[in-house]
Amino acid sequence: MATMQPSYEVQSFRVIHPLQDAIEKKCSSQGLGPMAITRPVRVSLMLLRGYLIAMTLLLGFYIFGVLR
């Protein structure tokens, strides 16, 4: 853990600012590709896609109508 390393003195702590600390190895998506999702989730996302497109178009038509 890079945050608080016990220093050379007993009962003392070194506190390092995150921006000055060593960079941690994070959870990386490199090489993983798109997330593996189950069929129900895939179908739900397709429905969500349709819903979002429909609502965005509806809002666009509404704005267009008001502006006219």
Which residues lie near other proteins (CB under 8 A)?
1-4, 7, 9, 11-21, 23-24, 26-29, 32, 34-37, 41, 45, 48-49, 51-52, 55-56, 58-59, 62-63, 66-67
Please say whether the beta carbons of 21 and 15 come within 8 A.
no
End-to-end Cα distance, the chain? 61
Strands 4-6 and 13-15: antiparallel
